[in-house]
Amino acid sequence: MLIIDCPFCGPRAESEFAYGGEGGIARPLATETLTDEQWGDYVFMRSNPKGLHHEQWRHASGCGKWFNALRDTLTYRFHGTWKIGAEPPEAFTRRVQPAAPVGETVVEGLAR
Ligand SMILES: [Zn+2]
């Protein structure tokens, strides 16, 4: 069983949580000045890294609060969780982007 460490409640079973998509995506401030392409990028474009991924999760069957997580998409291992607006764990700041195979595009997903 996968255990997720809710920063408010502590370690709980994965079945209590809901995935909320990629973390760290800020809504543009002046949306009326965006082009359709820029708005589409904000709404739909997400990174899909092989490795560490900044995500947002909600403790749906617990405290109900949202929080950030750094999870490895290959192993499912959580490298840290932290409250929205709080400083991320050290693993988040020293993460290393894997090199992209030839012919693939590197997506800057964790640097936002
Ligand atoms: Zn909780």
Q: Is the pLDDT of residue 104 over 70?
A: no
Cβ–Cβ under 8 Å, residues 60 and 54: no
What are the residue ranges of helices labelled H in 10-105?
36-44, 90-93
How close is the Cα of 5 to the center of ligand 1, in Å? 8
**Coil, strand or helix at 2:** coil
How close is the Cα of 22 to the center of ligand 1, in Å? 19
List the domain boundaries for the chain.
3-26+40-93
CA distances from 107 to 3, 53, 97 (A): 28, 12, 10
Quote the pTM value: 0.77
pLDDT per residue as tens digits for the range 25-75: 989 999 999 999 999 999 999 999 999 999 999 999 999 999 999 999 999
Quote the tokens at residue 50: 């092989």
pLDDT classification of 89: cutoffs 50, 70, 90: confident
How close is the Cα of 10 to the center of ligand 1, in Å? 7
What average pLDDT does the structure give for the chain? Answer: 86
Look at residue 95 in the predicted model and tell me its pLDDT: 64
The CATH number given to 3-26+40-93 is 3.30.2270.10
Residue whose token pair is 């999870």: 71
